[in-house]
């Protein structure tokens, strides 16, 4: 017996059920990035939650979970994550959940398929979803790359982020650099302060570029992921998390310099692998990263329904 339950908030017991499902998926797929304790990852926060329960009575278990971001991305498109427990796959639960999601949304809906699995592509075809976005996961071995000392434009200096001082300056650059981006353009001071409370946050790996007037004109925020048994040999991994350059400061090599500063920092921390996420259609950025030794290791896809 299959039952769907929608909830705007999860009870503590349900949070632990969802966490167990996400951890099981991580063991099999390498995704999502979820910790045994603490809050669920940010992509699963806020309303709404769809639970797929199977079985009867006391034997009823959580076979699938979907999160629907009803607030939408920066362009008002609702975005969903859908995961079926590895022990309950190939029983039609994924298709049934997708049907429930599509039926619950009026207007545009985008659904992530992490890893671009053929099964997701088949489901998308079945439901008439279009392939709307590709997010490339690129990786490089720091031991195999000769990342040189960054060369900064005249009058520009690098320093690290100071919590409680630099939030607004970073967000001002971020807003100008990513006004086109469906997620990053919505990032604000409150979200930045919330990120500073995460266990992975490290101000020493958050580089700011200041011009001669002392104004922040760019930044490179790095991140370190804990070991994942299914990815990158089970070793910690560094990430080029966000590189942002004010449009007025672009074209002088600042983006490359910031990127190199972060890469050298991650290498100096002893991280053998570095990854980054980049839009598949951002050809200039992809070309820059390829020249720095990065190759595509995975692809995440958003399938879309509606306009």
- Binding residues are 82-84, 183, 223, 239, 243-245, 250-256, 277
Longest dimension (CA), the chain: 70
- Pairing outcome for strands 78-84 and 61-69: antiparallel
SS3 (DSSP) at 157: strand
Q: How far apart are CA 86 and CA 247, in angstroms?
A: 45
Q: How far is CA 262 from CA 40, 80, 86, 182, 268, in A?
A: 27, 31, 36, 24, 10
Question: H helices of the chain, where?
Answer: 12-29, 93-104, 118-126, 167-177, 189-195, 254-268, 283-291
Distance CA 254, CA 157 (A): 10
User: Is 50 in contact with 66 (CB distance < 8 Å)?
Assistant: yes
Instruction: Kindly state the tokens that stand for 281.
Output: 């259609």
**Which two structure tokens, joined as six digits, stand for 214?**
């002392």
d(CA 231, CA 225): 11
Q: Specify the DSSP class assigned to residue 250.
A: T
Whole-number Å distance between alpha carbons of 255 and 276: 14
Q: Which residues contact 227 (CB under 8 A, 6 or more apart)?
A: 234, 235, 236
Query: Which residues are annotated as part of the binding site for acetyl-CoA?
Result: 82-84, 243-245, 250-256
Q: Is 204 helix (H, G, I), strand (E, B) or coil?
A: helix
As a 3-state breakdown, the chain gives helix, strand, coil percent values, each rounded to 5, of 35, 30, 35
């Amino acid at each position: 017996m299959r039952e769907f339950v929608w909830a705007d908030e999860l009870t503590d017991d349900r949070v632990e059920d969802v966490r167990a499902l996400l951890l099981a998926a991580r063991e099999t797929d390498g995704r999502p990035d979820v910790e045994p304790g603490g809050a669920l990852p940010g992509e699963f926060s806020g309303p709404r939650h769809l639970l797929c329960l199977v079985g009867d009575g006391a034997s009823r278990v959580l076979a699938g979970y979907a999160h629907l971001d009803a607030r939408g991305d920066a362009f008002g498109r609702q975005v969903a994550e859908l995961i079926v427990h590895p022990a309950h796959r190939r029983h039609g639960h994924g298709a049934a959940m997708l049907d429930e999601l599509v039926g619950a949304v009026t207007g545009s809906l985008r659904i992530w398929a992490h890893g671009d699995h053929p099964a997701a592509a088949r489901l998308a075809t079945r439901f008439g979803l279009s392939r709307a976005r590709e997010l490339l996961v690129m990786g490089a071995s720091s031991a195999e790359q000769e990342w040189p000392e960054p060369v900064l434009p005249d009058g520009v200096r690098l320093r690290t982020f100071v919590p409680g001082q630099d939030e607004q300056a970073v967000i001002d650059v971020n807003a100008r650099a990513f006004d086109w981006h469906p997620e990053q353009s919505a990032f604000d001071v409150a979200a930045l302060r919330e990120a500073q409370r995460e266990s992975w946050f490290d101000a020493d790996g958050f580089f700011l570029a200041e011009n001669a007037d002392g104004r922040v004109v760019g930044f490179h925020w790095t991140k370190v992921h804990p070991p994942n048994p299914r990815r990158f040999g089970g070793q910690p991994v560094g990430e080029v998390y966000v590189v942002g350059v004010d449009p007025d400061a672009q074209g002088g090599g600042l983006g490359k310099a910031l990127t190199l500063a972060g890469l050298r920092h991650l290498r100096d921390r002893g991280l053998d692998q570095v990854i980054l996420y980049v839009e598949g259609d951002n050809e200039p950025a992809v070309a820059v990263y390829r020249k720095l030794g990065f190759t595509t290791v995975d692809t995440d896809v958003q399938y879309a329904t509606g306009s």
